[in-house]
Amino acid sequence: MALGIISNISDRVQVDKLSKYINTSVIWILGIVLTLFVGVSSLEGSITNGVDALTVKTTKAAVSNFIPIVGKILRRCGRNCNGM
């Protein structure tokens, strides 16, 4: 943007091509970075959901196995609350 302003102000200094090249390069770089960010964010979200579900199942199994009477009651309550 500054190069475009300088090019318009001064007749001796013409940097239109450089300004357009830098502008196009920045747009491409931002597009690539944004695409990578969205891709990594979506992968992270899907991996997190899988890990959360695995953690809940592991916790239910551990509680029901290590604390037999209370664990089964808590597991049933958890199943009713979560709808699983």
* Domain that includes residue 54, residue range: 2-82
Q: Into how many domains does the chain fold?
A: 1
pLDDT for 30: 93
Q: pLDDT of 1-28, one tens digit each? A: 666 666 667 666 667 777 788 889 999 9
8-state DSSP, 11: S
Q: State the pTM of this model.
A: 0.51
